[in-house]
Structure 1
Amino acid sequence: MNDIITTMFNKKFLEELFKPQELYSKKALRTVFDRLAHASIMRLNQASMDKLYDLMTMAFKYQVLLCPRPKDILLVSFNHMDAIKDFVKDTACILSQVDETYQQLIEMYTPLPSGEFQLIRQTLLIFFQDMHIRVSIFLKDKVQNSNGRFVLPTSGPVPHGTQTPGLIRMFSCTGEESGRLQFNNGGNYAAALCQGSFELFGDRVTKLGTNMYGVCRPVETHMSGTAKNSAQHTKVNAAPNPLAKEELNLLARLMGGLDVQKPPGNSDSSFRVNLFATDQEEEEALMSRPDELSYGFINIQATKDQSTNAELAKIMGEFSESRESRDHAPSASSRGDDLLAMMDGL
C-alpha cells in the first residue's frame, strides 16, 4: 500500500496532473491505473485488472451522480484524501506527500465559481456516459438496475443556496424578468434552505467514496429450496445399492480375476438388467413386438477358465507392446522444442 501511494503522490506525477489540460482518454486513464496498481510487488492478471478498473470507475461515477451540487465533487475528493491519509498515518514521509497534495487541491479548486464546477461535473459525466457495468454490491443494495444504470433519488433536501425545483423564469434581452412558469417537480423536497440543512446534506456527501466493502452486511446462510431438496435427496440415496456389489462381481468375473462363491441356500445369485420400470411393462412390450423383430438371447460366459485368461493375456500383451513403442517414440513436447530450435536457427 505504501508503494502504491508513494507512486500515486509522486511530485512529478502530480505536476503533470495539475497542469491545465483536456480530460484523459479512456485508454490513457486505464494505462495510468495499470501502472499504479503494479507499482508494488502486487501483480494482477488481465481479468482481475479489468474487474478492478470497472469497479473503481463505476463507484466514482455513482459518487459524481449523487453530488447534490457541482461543488460537492470537491468534498468527495477530500473524502478520498482522508481515507488515503489513514492508510499511511504511520509513515511520515508519505503522509507529507498526501498533505501537500491536499493543499494543492484547496488552492486550485476552492476559488472556482459554481459554473466551473458544473462544467467539471458535466465533463466527468460525459466521460462515464456509456459505461454501464453491473457491480454486485450495487445490484444487491438496489442502487443499480439490471441494465447497469444507477437509481437516483428524486426527493430529499436541496443544497444550500438553491431553491426547490418547480419554477421557470424567463428574462428579456436586457436581463429583466419577463415571465414565470410553474411545473410539477415530481419529488418531495425539503423547504428549509437554512445552513443546518446544508450541513446535514454535506455530511451525507462526505460519506460518498467510503469503502463499500467495509460496510457490515448480513451473511445469507439459509439454504435455497433447490439445495434443501438436493440435500434430502442425497440422504435418501445414501442407502447402499444391493445390486452394486453384484455388478462389480460380474465385472470381475468377466475380467477373469475373481471367483465368486454362490451364497449357501441360493442357487442363482446373478442379477438381470431390466430396461423397463416393471416386469409387467417388459412382458407387455414383448407381446406387442412384431415377429420379424424377434431376437434371441445372448449368453455371456462369466466364469473363470483358461481360455478366458489366455485371451486376456493376449490383449494385455498388445497393450504393453503399444505402450513400449509409444514410450520410445519422440514426445510432442520434444518435437515442439526441436521445431522452436529450428525456427530460432532460421
Structure 2
Amino acid sequence: MSMRTLPLVFINLGGEMLYILDQRLRAHNTSEDNSEKGVWSENDRKRVMNDIVGTMFSKAFMDELLKPQQLYSHRTMKTVLTRLAHASIMRLNPASMDRLYELMVMAFKYQVFLCLRPKDLLLISYNHMDTIREFVKDTPMAVNQVDETHRKIIETYSSFTEGELQLLRQTLLTFFQDMHVRVSLFLKDQIQNPNGRFALTTSGPVPHGTDVPGLIRIFDCRGREVRRREFPSGGSYTSSIREGSFELHGNRVIRLGMNMYTVDHPEETHTSRAPSVKTDGSPNPLAKEELNLLARLMGSMKTENEPKDESGFRINLFNTDKEEEEAGASGSAEESLHGVINIQAMQDEQAASELARIAGQFAEEEEEKKEEEEEKPENPSNNKGEELLAMMDDL
C-alpha cells in the first residue's frame, strides 16, 4: 500500500465536492444580492467557495496531509470532508452528505479507471486544481494557496517511478473496490452497468508512447530482431496522438478531472441504490424516476419553507424534503454497502430469556475487550484523522 495516496484522494474528492456544490448553489441563485430571503445569492456562492478552498488548501493543513501516512477509511474520509463542507455558512444534513460523498467517490473512481497509465493520476489532480483556481479567481489569497499546493504536488510526485505510481494506483483501486453506487449520468451514457460497475471497453487509444497490441517481436542475444508474430488483440486500438487521457462517449469528450457538471445535464446526476422491498403493496413514487433515469441530484427545484439553520444556510442535495427524509430513514451509505438486514421475530418466553442470557455474556465480553483496548496504544491512523480535524477547526 502506498503511503502517498491520501493527498491525491483528498484533493480530488474535494475538487468533485466543489464542482457539485458550485452547480447546486448556482441552481438556487436568483440575484446578485440578498434581496430574496432564504435564497442563495451570487455573493453567498462565492463566499462558500472561498471559505472551503481557503480551509482545504491552507498551508498547515496541506503540510500535515503531505506527510507519508496510510490512506483513511471511507468513514474517516467522509468525516473530514463533512467538516470541510461545513467550513463556511453552508450546512448539509447527514442524508445529503451521504449522497454527496457517493457521487464524489464514483466520479473520481471513473476518472481513475480512465487512466491509460499510472502517471495520468497526476493529470486528474492538476485538472481539479485548475478548475478550483477558477472558482476563487477573484480572491488572490485563495489563488495563492491553490498555486502553492499545486507546486507541492508537482514537487512530491514528479520524481515517482513507474512502480511507485502503479502502487499508488493499486491503493486507489483498493479504496474504491466496494463502492458500486449507480449514477444516472453514467447509466445514461452506458459507461456504468445497472449493478453499479463500470463498463470498460477493450478499444480506444493506448497510452502515449506505447505500441498498439497485436505484435510479438523476437530478438537474438545481440538485441537484433529476428522475427515477428502477430496475434489477435481482442479490441480495436489506436495510437495516442498526444499526451494526456480523454474518453469519448457519444458527442461528449470526458477529460480526466474536468468538471462534468458545467455541461447542461438537467436530469442526469443522481445516485441511486437498489430499490427497497415494500410489503404494503403501495406504489413507490420514485420507481418511475429510477427506471427512466430521471431522478435529479443537481436539479434546480427549490424546496419551500425550508428551516434556516442558525449557524448558516441549509442546502439540500435531494429534489424534495420527502426524498431527503426517506434517504435518512433508509440508513447511511456505509450500511447500504454491506447489505445490513435487520430481522425481528416473535419469541416465546423461554427463548427470550435464553437470548437475554446469551446477550448478557456478549456484553460482558465486549466490556472486557474494551478495557483491553483502552490499555493498548492508540491507533496512529485514527490519531492522524483527529489531528487533521482539530487543525481544520483552528483555521
TM-score between the two structures when normalised by the length of structure 2: 0.49
Opposite residue 172 of structure 2, the aligned amino acid is: L
Opposite residue 62 of structure 1, the aligned amino acid is: Y
Distance in 1 (alpha carbons) for counterparts of 2:173 and 2:215: 25
Q: Does 1:8 align with 2:8?
A: no
Q: 1:200 to 1:59 in 2, by over 3 A?
A: closer
* Aligned positions of 1:93-242 closer than 5 A: 93-166=141-214, 183-190=231-238, 192=239, 197-199=241-243, 201=245, 207-217=255-265
Q: 1:169 to 1:60 in 2, by over 3 A?
A: farther
Contact 1:76 1:206 in 2 (8 A): no
Unaligned runs of 5+ residues in structure 1 are 172-176, 221-225, 227-346
Contact 2:119 2:162 in 1 (8 A): yes
Q: 1:67 to 1:136 in 2, by over 3 A?
A: same
- Which secondary structure state, in structure 2, belongs to the residue aligned with residue 118 of structure 1? helix
Q: Does 1:47 align with 2:91?
A: no
Opposite residue 208 of structure 2, the aligned amino acid is: H
Distance in 1 (alpha carbons) for counterparts of 2:68 and 2:95: 33
Match of 2:121 in 1: 73
Q: CA deviation at 1:217?
A: 4.0
State how many pairs are aligned: 215
Q: 1:210 to 1:28 in 2, by over 3 A?
A: same
Unaligned runs of 5+ residues in structure 2 are 1-48, 220-224, 269-287, 289-395
Q: CA deviation at 1:219?
A: 7.6
Q: Does 1:35 align with 2:83?
A: yes
Q: 1:187 to 1:100 in 2, by over 3 A?
A: same
Q: Deviations over 1:79-109 (max 9, x none)?
A: 0000000011110111111100010011111
Q: Which has the larger radius of gyration?
A: 1
- Which secondary structure state, in structure 2, belongs to the residue aligned with residue 199 of structure 1? coil
Distance in 2 (alpha carbons) for counterparts of 1:207 and 1:108: 23
Q: Deviations over 1:261-310 (max 9, x none)?
A: xxxxxxxxxxxxxxxxxxxxxxxxxxxxxxxxxxxxxxxxxxxxxxxxxx
Q: CA deviation at 1:110?
A: 1.2
- Which secondary structure state, in structure 2, belongs to the residue aligned with residue 198 of structure 1? coil
Q: 1:13 to 1:118 in 2, by over 3 A?
A: same
Greater relative contact order: 1 or 2 (C-alpha under 8 angstroms, separation 6 or more)? 2
Q: CA deviation at 1:170?
A: 10
Opposite residue 122 of structure 1, the aligned amino acid is: Q
Q: CA deviation at 1:216?
A: 2.6
- Which secondary structure state, in structure 2, belongs to the residue aligned with residue 185 of structure 1? coil
Opposite residue 163 of structure 2, the aligned amino acid is: G
* Aligned positions of 1:255-334 closer than 5 A: none
Distance in 2 (alpha carbons) for counterparts of 1:84 and 1:106: 17
Contact 1:160 1:198 in 2 (8 A): yes
Q: CA deviation at 1:166?
A: 3.7
Q: Deviations over 1:217-238 (max 9, x none)?
A: 4789xxxxx9xxxxxxxxxxxx
Q: 1:208 to 1:100 in 2, by over 3 A?
A: same
Q: CA deviation at 1:180?
A: 9.2
Percent identity between matched residues is 63
Distance in 1 (alpha carbons) for counterparts of 2:267 and 2:58: 40
Q: CA deviation at 1:121?
A: 0.8
Opposite residue 45 of structure 1, the aligned amino acid is: N
Contact 1:79 1:209 in 2 (8 A): yes
More helix by share: 1
Q: CA deviation at 1:39?
A: 0.8
Q: 1:203 to 1:129 in 2, by over 3 A?
A: closer
TM-score between the two structures when normalised by the length of structure 1: 0.56
Q: CA deviation at 1:126?
A: 1.0
Contact 1:75 1:206 in 2 (8 A): no
- Which secondary structure state, in structure 1, belongs to the residue aligned with residue 243 of structure 2? helix
Distance in 2 (alpha carbons) for counterparts of 1:142 and 1:157: 19
CA RMSD of aligned residues (A): 3.1
- Which secondary structure state, in structure 2, belongs to the residue aligned with residue 54 of structure 1? helix
Opposite residue 106 of structure 2, the aligned amino acid is: M
Q: CA deviation at 1:201?
A: 4.3
Contact 1:159 1:198 in 2 (8 A): no
Q: CA deviation at 1:30?
A: 1.1
Q: CA deviation at 1:147?
A: 0.3
Q: Deviations over 1:18-52 (max 9, x none)?
A: 00112112221111111111111111111100000
Q: 1:129 to 1:201 in 2, by over 3 A?
A: closer
